[in-house]
Amino acid sequence: MTAMERYTGTPKLMVPAFGLGVVGLVLTAVGFFMNPEATAFSYLLGFTYWVGISVAALIMLAIFHTAKAKWLIVLRRAMETMAITVPVFAVLILAFIPLMKYLYPWIDGSPLAAHIHGIEVEHLHHKKEHYLNGGFFAVRQAIYFAVWIFVSHRLYSWSTKQDEAGGLDLTVKQRRFSPGALPFLALTITFAAFDWLMSLTPLWQSTIFGVYYFAGSFLAAFCLLTIITVQAQGKDLYGSLVKVPHFHNLGKLIFAFTAFWAYIGFSQFLLVWIANIPEEAPWYGLRMYGSWRSMSIAIFFLHFVLPFFTLLSRKLKEKPRLLAVAAVYMLLMHAVDLYWLIWPAFSGEAGPTFHWTLITAFVGVGGVAVGFALFRARNKYTFPVKDPYIAESLRYVQP
């Protein structure tokens, strides 16, 4: 194995990422004073896109520790760095304070409440008022982020400490801690999806909506990990240690979560269609008919059919740069999918529309998150250099 030192090259990327993020957030703030409704929905899209990737990386990290997987140890530090960005989102969610009344009709004083008919308001207040209210919403967010920050910090600190101490004890700690953390991670991301996205239409409900959201986030996390790994070439970077079998596994995971995302999406649609309950059917009715119909069909073919048959190719999964191109495409489609989830609550039957804060909010949240990740990566090794199983990971071949 080539000798590596701690990575010190982050300022070249960290400063531009932070700068781009700050500019994006400032422009988004300007947009709020010009068009608060559109800006609120734009910010929600950017926030849920990036925080979903961070939490998905954390959950997959815990899963791999639980499974005692060895092949991805060389990739683990990149996943840990993606997960350790959670504190950034704990700060960025404070922007919800002025935005909430423009997002959620169940907030007191929301202009959106005027669009809900009287009988629906009565139903909402009788059935969900104890859950859908600003105070309890804030409490839930505090719980979610407390869990995510605690788990990500523990796993990251043990992993980086092992770079100095070596030995098996810290590996054992991570493997014992992760199974107990997984139920809390799964429940918090599920209820976060209910709070952030499903409650945009408070009368609509789906018990598997949270699974749909984090299935897409898992897919995006593996796509981003693939791109990072392909680009991590150079002095003191781990990319040169990653072999074709590692990329093949990443490709298989991207393929698997493409299919899983589609399966959950179809299952949710089928259950709502069969039940045909008045509170649930309009959510899909809006997206199936009229001006949203074309986008719904396009998502099916472009987010599932095309990548499914493309990623069947073993040769593509064994060519890192081609796989990275596919990963970039899937990240774009994940953003389109979130737009399809979020934007109809804003534009309604007017169909897909565009507002410039969609770009600024996406770049702003993403830039700050990437900048923070690079900040945490500085003066650290880019892979777990003293993990007792790192040699096995580097020698990994397809079984």
Q: Report pLDDT digits (tens) over 16-61.
A: 999 999 999 999 999 999 999 999 999 999 999 999 999 999 999 9
- Residue among 297, 201, 208 at smallest CA distance from 260: 208
Distances (CA, A) of 112 to 101, 109, 123, 345: 8, 9, 16, 9
State the pLDDT at residue 336: 98
The answer to whether residues 246 and 259 touch, using CB atoms and an 8 Å cutoff, is no
Structure tokens at 241: 């240690």
Structure tokens at 84: 């350790």
Contact partners, residue 160, CB within 8 Å, separation at least 6: 380
Q: Is 117's pLDDT higher than 70?
A: no
Backbone φ and ψ of 26, nearest 5°: -65, -45
The answer to whether residues 349 and 4 touch, using CB atoms and an 8 Å cutoff, is no
Tell me the percentage of the chain whose pLDDT exceeds 70.
Answer: 95
Q: Report pLDDT digits (tens) over 277-332.
A: 887 888 999 999 989 999 999 999 999 999 999 999 999 999 999 999 999 999 99
Count how many residues are written for the chain. Answer: 399
| 3-state class (DSSP) for residue 380 | strand
Q: What is the pTM of this model?
A: 0.96
Half-sphere exposure of 117 (CA within 13 A, CB side): 4
Bridge partner residues of 380 (DSSP): 7
DSSP state of 234: S
